[in-house]
Amino acid sequence: MRATNKWLNMLLTLLTYLLVLALIFPVLWMIVTGFKQERDAYAAIPSLIFQPTLDQFSLAFNSGFGAYLFNSVVAALVSTALAMLLGIPAAYSMVFQMRPKSSNDLLFFALSTRFMPFAAILIPLFVIVSRLNLLDNLFTLIIVYTAMNLPLIIWMARSYFLELPKDVLESARLDGANTLRMLAGIVVPMAAPGLVASALLAVIFAWNDFFFAITLTYTQSPTLPVMVAVFSSNQDEFLAKVSALATCIIIVPVILGIYAQRHLVRGLTGGAIK
Query: What is the three-class DSSP state of 99?
Result: coil
Instruction: Using alpha carbons, select from 272, 261, 240, 266 the residue that is nearest to residue 35.
Output: 240
Alpha-carbon distance 86 to 68, whole Å? 27
**Residue 257 pLDDT greater than 50, yes or no:** yes
Handedness of CA 102, 187, 142, 212 (dihedral sign): negative
Stated as kind and residue range, the H or E segment containing 234 is helix 224-234
Lowest mean pLDDT among 21-25, 151-155, 227-231, 266-270: 266-270
Q: Which amino acid is residue 62, in one-letter code? A: N
Stated as kind and residue range, the H or E segment containing 171 is helix 166-174
The average pLDDT across 77-85 equals: 96
Alpha-carbon distance 45 to 39, whole Å? 11
What's residue 203's pLDDT?
93
The average pLDDT across 83-87 equals: 95
pLDDT in tens, 60-69: 888 889 999 9
Instruction: Using alpha carbons, select from 187, 180, 127 the residue that is nearest to residue 157.
Output: 187
What's residue 223's pLDDT?
92
What's residue 224's pLDDT?
92
What's residue 274's pLDDT?
44
Is 243 within 8 Å of 33 (Cβ atoms)?
yes
246 burial via Cβ count (<10 Å: 0-12, 13-18, 19+): buried
When computed from its CA atoms, the radius of gyration of the chain, rounded to whole angstroms, is: 23
Q: Given pLDDT bands bounded at 50, 70 and 90, which one contains residue 205? A: very high
Query: What is the three-class DSSP state of 217?
Result: coil
Stated as kind and residue range, the H or E segment containing 130 is helix 118-131
Return the percentage of the chain with pLDDT > 90, whole number. Answer: 29
Alpha-carbon distance 231 to 64, whole Å? 11
Handedness of CA 156, 159, 161, 163 (dihedral sign): negative
Q: Does domain 64-269 have CATH number 1.10.1740.10?
A: no
Rounded to whole angstroms, what are the CA distances from 64 to 60, 69, 207, 209?
8, 9, 17, 19
Alpha-carbon distance 231 to 79, whole Å? 26
Put simply, whether the predicted model's pTM sits higher than 0.95 gets the answer no
The average pLDDT across 126-155 equals: 91
The average pLDDT across 120-130 equals: 88
**Residue 227 pLDDT greater than 70, yes or no:** yes
For the stretch 188-225, what's the b/e string if a residue is b when 16 or more beta carbons lie within 10 angstroms of its beta carbon? bebbeebbebbbbbbbbbbbbbeebbbbbbeeebbbbb
**Residue 87 pLDDT greater than 90, yes or no:** yes
Is 200 within 8 Å of 77 (Cβ atoms)?
no
